Amino acid sequence: MFCFQCEQTASGTGCTKFGVCGKSPEVAALQDLLIYALKGLSKVAVEARMRGIDAREVNRFTCEATFATLTNVNFDPERFVELIGVAVDHREELVKRMEEGGVIVKREGPTAFIPEATVERLIRQGEKVGVKSNPALHPDILSLRQILTYGIKGTAAYADHAYVLGYENDEIPEFIHEGLAATLDDSLGAEELTALVLRCGEANLKAMELLDRANTETYGQPAPTEVPLGHRKGKAILVSGHDLRDLELVLKQTQGRGIHVYTHGEMLPTHGYPRLKAYPHFYGHYGTAWQNQIREFAEFPGAILMTTNCIQKPSDSYRDNIFTTGMVGWPGVRHISDKDFTPVVEKALEMPGFTEDDLGKTVMVGFARNAVLGVADKVIEAVKAGKIRHFFLVGGCDGAKAGRNYYTEFVEKAPRDTVVLTLACGKFRFFDRELGDIGGIPRLLDVGQCNDAYSAVQIALALSEAFGVGVNELPLSLVLSWYEQKAVAILLTLLHLGIRDIRLGPSLPAFITPNVLKVLVEKFNIMPITTPEADLKAILG
């Protein structure tokens, strides 16, 4: 195997024996084969659209199947076998429709790929089409193709979250098909691929906007909300991942059952949505970020549901208590495909639950764009009065790799006349710090999940308009942490918007070659983090 799509990849270069994430070589090969099949489907879908044939039926599938290959989503080989077969079926249906219209479809490579009948043979097929299957390919071209592919994976994930709530925008999957097909085109050089990479950022902006509308129109605009970090006596269910719809279904299906529902990881910001927090048994937040789940889940005395990416190999101590749904999968873990969470409820009722109340401390969430822009006049006044010197957006993915304490120290050492906006699970490095306020404006503002990055973008754009300057002239600095492909997609969106001087860490992506990095530095002045003291000094002067 060879995989270097996440920040924690082995030795900072690539996993070659077993994935740091827990991905086996067999699953890695099947994921590579699924992407290969999706590239074939995408090439045919692009041609079908050019011929006036509606390919909308494959849109959702493409987003869903691509999402399955993100880091820490699906580790179940059987599920990939099914997805590969469906991808080929969709491709053949489109070919049939074109041929019925008199179009002769040229078939080669992934457009002619026929999956083998057994898992073992599929794995062998996958081993031949991985990242390094073409040793003659120039490293910079490979780098740009992989950046595009990983950006598309993140974009597909955001689009799939929106699809779940019934929201769609055909422009997003149409670009996904175009982008995946482009990775097969040997005529495209560095300039053309770079343009596609930035267009991926544009497509991801549309996906994040669509998801923002889906979430807020379905559950209301997030509002500042105090969330308990303790627990109540009684039976318990823990919901982790990102999916708001799954959380809502759990809340509905546990009404009147004497069960308290808790969030974990990136589900923390869901407490700010009015139509979710209206459920009286939706209590508080348990634990921190995804990489701590092995310890935290083992101590949770109830059932656990993983709704999207972030699953790790379950330990024996809680394997019988954890369930997956959606695209998430782990071999041997019970998967709920029909959204009837009765098994989760029954398991929670079997387990002891919390035996006593522990109120603990609280944290504030719900500072999405409406909440922040609702006090924009106070923010602008504080800036003009010199009370707020600078804003920092410190957010992104958390992870287990050394170096992430940088973000804790950066926030703690940020001067008291600065404000920190944060989002995604990177916040768990400092989410419970008491930083005080500036004239009633909290110094730590939780914008939401990584899925809520659109809110942060809109806050920046609104402030730039209010001050009559470009975003790059605002007293605002982005200090980001990355781990997986959603973060890649968000970074591409920021670059598409022309945002410069982004600090990125804890390490730079292994899939970016020195030449490609040089272009990013020259055009956008993207830079690695150094030390909190040095970076604060460089930013604030």
DSSP characters over 423-486? ESGGGGGTTT----EETTEESEEEEE-GGGHHHHHHHHHHHHHHHTS-GGGSSEEEEEE--SHH
Low-confidence ranges of the chain (pLDDT < 70): none
Cα dist from 320 to 176, 228, 347, whole Å: 37, 27, 9
- Beta partners for residue 228, in sequence order: 362
Ordered domains of the chain (ranges, CATH):
10-218 (1.20.1270.20), 225-350 (3.40.50.2030), 367-540 (3.40.50.2030)
Considering only CA atoms, which of 191, 158, 195 is closest in space to residue 173? 158
Residues 21-58 as b or e (16 or more Cβ within 10 Å = b)? bebbbbbbbbbbbbbbbbbbbbbbbbbbbeeebebeeb
The gap between the terminal CA atoms of the chain, to the nearest Å, is 46
Q: Which residues pair with 444 in a beta bridge?
A: 420
